[in-house]
Structure 1
Amino acid sequence: MADSLTVMVDSPPKPEFPPEKAHRQRKSNQDQIATHEPEHSPSTIQKAIAEFVGTYILIFAGCGAALINETLPLTIVGIAMVAGLALTVAIYSVGHVSGGHFNPAVTIALATVRKIQLKLVPIYVLCQFMSATLAIFTLKVLYHDKVDIGVTVTQFTSSTSHLEALVWEFIITSILVLTICGVATDHRGSKDLAGAAIGISVLINVIIAGPITGASMNPARSLGPAIVSGVYKNIWVYLIGPTLGAIFATVLYKFLRVSKPAKPEDRT
């Protein structure tokens, strides 16, 4: 009996695969999964359409609120709520398809830190500008002459200098994009609440800066109304300010980001 026990201890059952073969098997399975993943990811045209639709929702609702405010006062709080909720709706509707940028400044900034493929940048930006222009044109057609479409054009108050307006747009866009980086691009963030958090950041920014600069935070939001109305005064402020603010926020968050730990099987 003692001899038989000794045999059992000294001769454990052999594994089904040797360690080297098991590792190769796991690697093969991972490669097969990686091979099939692209088949289930959105195509470039699907992403472009999602950006177009999401931007349209955002601009149509946000600028529509500004038009309604001319006849039925919503106050800055009401306009801010519409803008924030519109972005939240757009993110939860099609954000999972394209990443939910709906803003050229966001797209350019994320490309700066390589969070989006460079080939998608011109496609996204073009779709965003075209969508914003179409949204304003739609509002103009629907409202006829009841309200001047010019009220949707972002302008800063006469008491505000160009530099001050630039700084305002830089800061509020930085807040918006820092929120996006924290909740949507970081593996530690709460993805389920990303849309709500980003929408709230827009609401806060519009309440604070809306009466001063119009709180654009989005070059498409400013260029669309400018094209339809033909008013391009100070447009450069709303193209440069948000873009620089967005880039600053993404670069800043790059230093705050923690690398995602490797899975145990990746270290074998």
Structure 2
Amino acid sequence: MASQSDHIEKDSISKMEDGGASSVGAEGSRFCSATVVNCVQRLIAEAVGTFFIMFIGCGSIVGNMMHSTVTFPGICTAWGLVVTAMVYAVAHISGAHFNPAVTITFTALGKFPLKEAPLYIVSQLVGAIFGSGVLYLLLNPKPEQFYGTIPVGSVIQSFVLEIIISFLLMFVISGAFADTRAIGELGGIAIGATILLSCLTAGPISGASMNPARSIGPAIIMHNYKALWAYIFGPVIGMLAGGFTYKLIKFLDKPSQDVTKNSTFLKNI
């Protein structure tokens, strides 16, 4: 039969082991907390969504330049549809920014945490660069088949166009997607349609970027940085203006229940 001292020694050893395990568990939970995991998931969603937007959108441009089968309206449709698809795929995970200018605008409006904004922007840039890079490796386009954005006319003309169409896109995002009173199920379609229309209008002149990552990715991969500043600052300026303009008209005297009584499209069909 074990003595009392043996029992005490065994108890102390088990407590030390339990304490050590709980210490390791606490340390592990610090690095594997739900918050960190959730953040990583959202960053991956942003990178994957941006990757496919670049791969499909820029792929349609290269395909048309190589084989002349896609046509300009087809390119515009490809951009609009792939953005729509990615919005519906990951909006419930990451918010579906896919665009540094969108992230900057939401942050400036206080709708997105400042500490996460740089991480989102890096994820979007990584997705854009990888999408452009994979496309380059698969199709091996020539320098004249550049699938980035360069001005056809003057740089200032494209810069102003980028401000205008980026304003429109952010205005639609704010009204049709980000506003809780909007018909949420149709937000992705509204965003995709806006991109399609903007491409049809500004595409022949500026390339209709509306997204710094969309222009930076191909520029890095194909080493063509012509007028890149216009495609970085133009969308940021335009989207900030569009976001703050929508904020000015967002608050209505009309009661909230009157505004939202038809806000769910699926309940009415």
User: CA shift at 1:192, angstroms?
Assistant: 0.3
Matches for 1:178-257 after TM superposition, within 5 Å = 178-257=171-250
Give the CA RMSD over aligned residues. 2.1
2:208 match: secondary structure: coil
> Unaligned regions of 5+ residues in structure 1, if any?
1-38, 263-268
1-structure distance, mates of 2:37, 2:106: 19
Does residue 1:95 correspond to 2:91, yes or no? yes
User: CA shift at 1:261, angstroms?
Assistant: 5.2
Does residue 1:121 correspond to 2:121, yes or no? no
User: CA shift at 1:72, angstroms?
Assistant: 2.8
1-structure distance, mates of 2:238, 2:228: 16
Change in 2 beyond 3 A, CA 1:248/1:143: same
Of the three residues 152, 157, 167, the one matched with 1:174 is 167
Of the three residues 57, 61, 68, the one matched with 1:66 is 61
1-structure distance, mates of 2:37, 2:159: 36
Please name the residue that 1:105 is paired with: 101
User: CA shift at 1:165, angstroms?
Assistant: 1.2
Instruction: Please give the per-residue CA displacement for 1:184-206, whole angstroms capped at 9, x wherever unaligned.
Output: 11121111001111000000000
Please name the residue that 1:131 is paired with: 127
Paired amino acid for 2:126:
M
> Unaligned regions of 5+ residues in structure 2, if any?
1-33, 258-269
Stretch moving more, 39-48 or 232-241: 39-48
Does the 8 A contact of 1:58 with 1:83 survive in 2? yes
Instruction: Please give the per-residue CA displacement for 1:164-215, whole angstroms capped at 9, x wherever unaligned.
Output: 1111000011111111000111121111001111000000000000000100
Stretch moving more, 66-75 or 50-59: 66-75
Paired amino acid for 1:144:
N
2-structure distance, mates of 1:215, 1:109: 19
State the TM-score, normalizing by the size of structure 2.
0.78
User: CA shift at 1:42, angstroms?
Assistant: 7.6
1-structure distance, mates of 2:37, 2:103: 17
User: CA shift at 1:149, angstroms?
Assistant: 7.7
Instruction: Please give the per-residue CA displacement for 1:208-235, whole angstroms capped at 9, x wherever unaligned.
Output: 0000010000000000000000111110
Instruction: Please give the per-residue CA displacement for 1:39-80, whole angstroms capped at 9, x wherever unaligned.
Output: 799811111011001111111110000001111332221000
Change in 2 beyond 3 A, CA 1:41/1:252: farther
Does the 8 A contact of 2:62 with 2:145 survive in 1? no
2:146 match: secondary structure: helix
1-structure distance, mates of 2:188, 2:114: 24
Instruction: Please give the per-residue CA displacement for 1:103-161, whole angstroms capped at 9, x wherever unaligned.
Output: 0011101111011111111001001011101001000111135x55842120111xx22
Does the 8 A contact of 1:150 with 1:225 survive in 2? no
Runs of 4+, deviation exceeding 4 Å? 39-42, 147-150, 259-262
Please name the residue that 2:261 is paired with: none
Paired amino acid for 2:148:
V
Paired amino acid for 1:251:
F
Does the 8 A contact of 1:42 with 1:97 survive in 2? no
1-structure distance, mates of 2:144, 2:250: 42
Does the 8 A contact of 2:151 with 2:158 survive in 1? yes
Q: How many residues align?
A: 222
2-structure distance, mates of 1:99, 1:235: 27
Please name the residue that 2:151 is paired with: 156
Change in 2 beyond 3 A, CA 1:129/1:150: farther
